[in-house]
Structure 1
Amino acid sequence: MHITNETSELFRHLSAEKGALYRCIMDVFAAAKRQYRLQLRPDEVLADADWGNSQGGTPPRIEDVTAALAQLTAWGNLESHPDTARVSTLSDFYRARFLYRLSHGGEAVESALAVFVQTLRRRAELQTVALEDIASRLQALQALVAEPEPDVAKTHAILRDLVRVFESLAENAQAFMASVARSIELQQAEATAVASYKRRLIDYLERFIGDLVRRSNAIARCINDLEPHIDAMLAQVAEREARDAAPGDPREQADARQGYRQAWQERWKGLRGWFLSTGHEPPQAELLRARARSAIPQLLAAIAALNERRSGRSDRSADFRVLAAWFAACSDDGEAHRLARAAFALNPARHFLLEADADTDLPASTSWADAPPLSIHPRLREYGEAAARGPLPRVKDRSADRARLARHLIEEAHQVEAARRRLATGQPAKLSQLDALDKHAFGLFLGLLGEALTEQAGPDAPVDRLTGDGTLHIRLAPLAADSRAEIATPDGIFAGRDHVITITPTGDAR
């Protein structure tokens, strides 16, 4: 639809500088129309308007109201007519006095704004009462059909009531089902809101689905019973409405009757399609029921995601806060550097190819600062590859290196298994009673101790948990706060609060 400049002027007062003043005045004229008051004078507008939302709550001057009325008349929202009823002198006659009323365009704008505000404030809902009203209206139509000469006026009134209720049901149901997903997404952030909304929504949907299932079959039977007679009823209603059409030639009168009849047939077709299947399409009531049912799993999935997020073990912010506390408790920079290397994996790493080409065989624990410099070919820096152009180099035999690594891994696995057998006895033992631990046993012990302490709720709380691989069960119970345990290791003395530790192998260990 094309909107002319004159039509767009009708909405100018909404965004004008004195928009609040203009809206107060237009609200007065809208109320006057509802009260069947045809015309208003400026002093009546000033007296009837609610200036609470305009001018800071202070009524404006009569001159400002008169100027605003003139501007609204210029935009086309109002119409003005000379006011001669209060003229008592010749000077009053020549003075500009006007009566104002809503113009045709102003009425349309006020109606549109009223519908706009009502739509924004309306909460979509599933109307179980509407289903009952539809069933009762259809039963009333059945009773009229059974009469020898049905009353056309009653039929017309029942059909108008039926269409009004049905349109409200369809519109609200569509808006409600569209808003369910948005409501679930918006409320995922707060657990209490989701739990409360879950109970209310599930009860609401179950009640509506039950009524929809119970009443849909009865409504569908009524529609089927009315099918043989509905065309005649719609034709009578259309003929009755066509009597009020504007006078014209016979062809226009026939077109008007045909238009009214087609409109009623479309409304009946929509009602029929809601409760009866049309071809391969299921009835809209079935689709609505399926959509209402699917809202419940969506809500349950949102709650499951929320619970998973709340109970998840990985919390980066909490980890960083604990790490910051550990850094603050470091006694010197050396201890802080060791903690940083352990926390952020700042350990030396050497590529197997570069290690093999080095002049000396350095252990992996050697720091880059302590190791001899490594020569990097300029081509590697420039092109990202070290091989020069030409034939490919011969493949090097690395079987001896692989065998050495395999022996090293097997030896390390035996040492770890021996440490596991030594520690995982299934018997409770104090940390202070543990003998000196070798490198592998101490590494395994630190790993198990770290897994247990991460699950501890407080310094005095015991811990029961499985290891990450599920092969060991750890129970750690703290002793008195002033107790102390010292464990001798190849790297020094490991000391701290004494605990009773029980490491038990599970069935998965075998």
Structure 2
Amino acid sequence: MEVNEKLYRPITEVNYLRAENADRYRAIMRFFYHEHERIRYWLYKEDVYEEMKEQRRFADYTMEQCQNDLQALNEWGNLTAHQDTSKASTIQEFKNKRYRYQLSEYSVAIERMTIELEQMEIEGASLQPTLLERIRQQLEKFEQQLTASPQDAHGWWQLLSDDFLRLNKDYQDYIRTLNSARAEELMKSREFLVFKDQLIMYLRSFVRRLQEQGLIIEGLLKNIEEPVREALFDKIVRYELSIPRLGETLRYEQVQEAYEGKWKSLYDWFVGENGENEVDRLYGITNDIIRRITRYALQIGEFHHQGSNRREEYRHIADMFGKCKDLQQAHCFSAQVFGCESILHLQSDVARESDSIYQGVYEEKGEVSILEPRARVARKKSIRKRAQDHSLEQQILQMEIFAKQEEQQRQVEALIQNGKIVFSRLPELDEDLRKVLLGWISRAMGNSDHRSRNDQGKTYQVRKEKEGECSVVFSDGTLVMPCLEIVFEEEGVE
């Protein structure tokens, strides 16, 4: 990217698009632009004032407001003011400085942009296969441009680049329109079914022409040799530089880089790199849109038929079943109407009288099943029962818990020797005792002095008996741990 001072300059000419009185400024600028297109470049403030007064929105517009608006547009660079002294017959008229106003070049370009933005939704985008054919025809004339005049070669290049830019812009705008939220909402409506087939036909026609012309264009681009293309571009660039321009100086490298960039974009669009190009990508995107349109149309149809009243259809099918001669004919008719995929299967746990796989369901003995209603209104009546007294079971369970705790306490006291429990000397213990002892250790190690109280209120301290590790055998395994001991302190002794 070439960076110059123009890139950093603020564009004050667009201020009128977002200023406080943007409605008045835009109306004035649009009036100047229309007159500019009619080759009426210079306008007086009286012309602007009369045009604004004709607009219903600006019925209260005054000459003072018009003068202020023109002055503001002049300060922003949108208008160029020139004092008209040709009709000044007195000194007073000369001092009043009657001005004429003209659009600047920036303002002309800005107004063209705003008109294009306003007409985007009106014109809409489209996929034009004719652009592909025109690009193919221009590329077929590539070798002729080597012997043509620089002016004709330059015109050929302008037609080719304009068609390619139009193709790229139109396809991006059209695909963006089909992928928009508005299009998604429209595709899910019933009104979409009216032109669904027409849209799919339009897309498929473009894809077919894209495949045909895209392969031809790809072959033409691959056959163009690099030295030949550089020689042609050198002739086109030199002609571009020979065109006289006021206040603008173009450099050879600048124009050549712009042309090379356009050619590379054209080459990548149809040929690409590593087998990936924009043609294949557009082909995949279009097919995805067609599949999405078809899926939405199918969903709309299913939803429409889902809510329809099919009473007459069911009655007609019931009459046809009633006209069957025997049960076997009714079985055949059922297979034709319902089929095997949508058949209703009922499963039961009743014991069969025979395990034969060839025995039909009509040969089995019938089974009666009581079905509970699933509706919210028809609920099964609840039966109230008297509350039962479980106090005896609770007392028995409480006694068992107390007995277990007393037994556990006796086992713990049996492990205390000389007021302490030494883990390296413990016999084999059960799982409950392991949980008690390790719980005591965990509770004490959480304090800074390694002291705590057990459930019986006895104070103890966890100490290290000796260096190293010891193995304590439990009923569910062996625990390897440091050589610790739990020392119980006598009451009243710190």
TM-score by length of 1: 0.56
**Alignment gaps of 5+ in structure 2:** 310-372, 392-396, 402-494
> Given the alignment of the two structures, is residue 151 of structure 1 paired with residue 146 of structure 2, yes or no?
no
SS of 1:37's partner is coil
The alpha carbon displacement at 1:374 in A equals 8.0
| Equivalence for 1:129 | 130
Cα 1:124–1:247 shift into 2, 3 Å: closer
For 1:54, the equivalent position in structure 2 comes to: 57
Per-residue CA distance 1:189-234 (angstroms, 9 max, x = gap) = 421x221231121110121112112222222232233335222111
Q: How many residues align?
A: 326
AA matched with 1:113: T
Distance 2:216 2:188 in 1: 42
CA offset digits 1:454-482 (Å, max 9, x no partner): xxxxxxxxxxxxxxxxxxxxxxxxxxxxx
Partners of 1:81 and 1:11 lie apart in 2 by 22
Contact 1:141 1:155 in 2 (8 A): no
Q: 1:154 to 1:375 in 2, by over 3 A?
A: farther
Q: Secondary structure at the match of 1:187?
A: helix
- 1:160-175, aligned counterparts within 5 Å? 160-175=158-173
Return the offset for 1:300. 0.9
Taking a change above 3 Å as real, the CA distance of residues 218 and 49 of structure 1, as seen in their structure-2 partners, is: farther
2:145 touches 2:232 (CA, 8 Å); kept in 1?
A: no
Shift of 1:173: 0.9
Does structure 1 residue 233 correspond to structure 2 residue 228? no
Q: How far is 1:41 from its partner? A: 0.7
What is the rounded CA distance, in whole Å, between the counterparts of 1:376 and 1:346 in structure 2? 34
The aligned residue for residue 198 of structure 2 is 200
Q: Does residue 282 in structure 1 map to residue 276 in structure 2? A: yes
Structure-to-structure mapping, 1:325-336, within 5 angstroms: none
Counting only pairs closer than 5 Å after superposition, residues 256-267 of structure 1 correspond to structure 2 as 256-267=251-262
Question: Which amino acid counterpart does residue 27 of structure 2 have in structure 1?
Answer: C
Match of 1:309 among 303, 309, 324: 303
What is the aligned counterpart of 1:26 among 24, 29, 32?
Answer: 29
Which residue number in structure 2 is paired with residue 38 of structure 1?
41
Paired residue type of 1:202: I
Aligned to 2:148, the other structure's residue is in SS state coil
Displacement of 1:289 in angstroms is 1.7
Within 5 Å, give how 1:490-509 maps onto structure 2: none
SS in 2 for 1:54: helix
- Percent of paired sites with the same residue: 21
Render the CA deviation track for 1:219-266: whole Å, top value 9, x for unaligned. Answer: 223223333522211121112223348899xxx98xx21222222222
Question: Which of the residues 213, 220, 223 maps onto 2:221?
Answer: 223
Of 5, 13, 16, 1:13 maps to 16
Matching residue's letter, 1:267 = K
1:94–1:311 distance in 2 versus 1, CA, 3 Å = same
Change in Cα spacing, 1:235 to 1:206, as seen in structure 2 (3 Å) is same
Counterpart AA for 2:278: Q
The SS at the match of 2:42 is coil
Q: Offset at 1:16?
A: 4.3
How far apart are 1:153 and its partner, in Å? 1.6
* CA contact 2:154–2:236 (8 Å) conserved in 1: yes
**In 2 relative to 1, CA 21–124 (structure 1 residues): closer, same or farther, beyond 3 Å?**
same
Aligned: 1:271 with 2:266 = yes
Contact kept, 8 Å, 2:44 with 2:100, in 1: the verdict is: yes
Do the aligned residues in 1 keep the contact of 2:188 with 2:297 (CA within 8 Å)?
no
Q: Which amino acid in 1 is paired with 2:48? A: V
Letter in 1 for 2:222: N
- Going from structure 1 to structure 2, the CA distance change for 1:374 and 1:206 (only over 3 Å counts) comes to farther
One-letter amino acid of the structure 2 residue matched with residue 302 of structure 1: Y
2:186 is the alignment partner of 1:187: yes
2:382 corresponds to = 366
Aligned with 2:100: secondary structure? strand
Q: Which amino acid aligns with 2:301?
A: N
| Distance change (3 Å), C-alpha of 1:141 and 1:374 | farther
Contact 1:142 1:222 in 2 (8 A): no
Distance 1:376 1:107 in 2: 96
- The Cα offsets for residues 75-108 of structure 1, whole Å up to 9 and x where unpaired, read as 4322323222221222212224222222455345
> Equivalent residue for 1:298?
292
State the 1:270 CA deviation.
1.6
* Deviation (angstroms), 1:43: 1.5
- Displacement of 1:271: 1.4
**AA in 2 matched with 1:204:** Y
Counterparts of 1:277 and 1:17 in 2: how far apart (Å)? 49
Relative to structure 1, the CA distance from residue 30 to residue 50 in structure 2 (aligned partners, 3 Å threshold; closer, same or farther) is farther
Describe the shift of the 1:50–1:301 C-alpha distance in structure 2 as closer, same or farther (beyond 3 A). Answer: farther
**Residue of structure 1 equivalent to 2:407:** none
**Contact kept? 1:184, 1:299, Cα under 8 Å:** no
2:100: which partner in 1?
99
Q: TM-score, normalised by structure 2?
A: 0.57
In the TM superposition, residue 161 of structure 1 has moved relative to its aligned partner by: 0.6
Map of 1:467 onto structure 2: none
Letter in 2 for 1:73: N
**Alpha-carbon distance in 2 for matches of 1:92, 1:241:** 48
Q: Distance in 2 between matches of 1:246 and 1:268?
A: 25
1:141 partner SS: coil
Amino acid aligned to 1:366: S
**Structure 1 runs not aligned, ≥5 long:** 316-340, 349-364, 378-386, 392-510
Aligned equivalents of 1:262, 1:81: Cα separation in 2: 40
Give the greater-gyration-radius structure (CA): 2
Q: Check the 8 A contact 1:24/1:51 in 2, yes or no.
A: no
Note if contact 1:27-1:49 (Cα within 8 Å) is conserved in structure 2: no
The residue type paired with residue 232 of structure 1 is A
Aligned to 1:344: 376
Which residue in the other structure is 1:400 paired with?
A: none
Contact 1:24 / 1:54 at 8 angstroms: preserved in 2?
no
Return closer, same or farther for 1:282/1:222 CA change in 2, 3 Å cut-off: same
Q: Provide closer, same or farther for how the CA distance between residues 230 and 314 of structure 1 changes in structure 2, counting only shifts above 3 A.
A: same
In 2, Cα distance between the equivalents of 1:266 and 1:376?
A: 91
Distance in 1 between residues matched to 2:246 and 2:17, nearest whole Å: 39
Q: Structure 1 residues 214 and 345, CA, compared in 2 at 3 Å: closer, same or farther?
A: same
Secondary structure at the aligned position of 1:307 is classed as helix
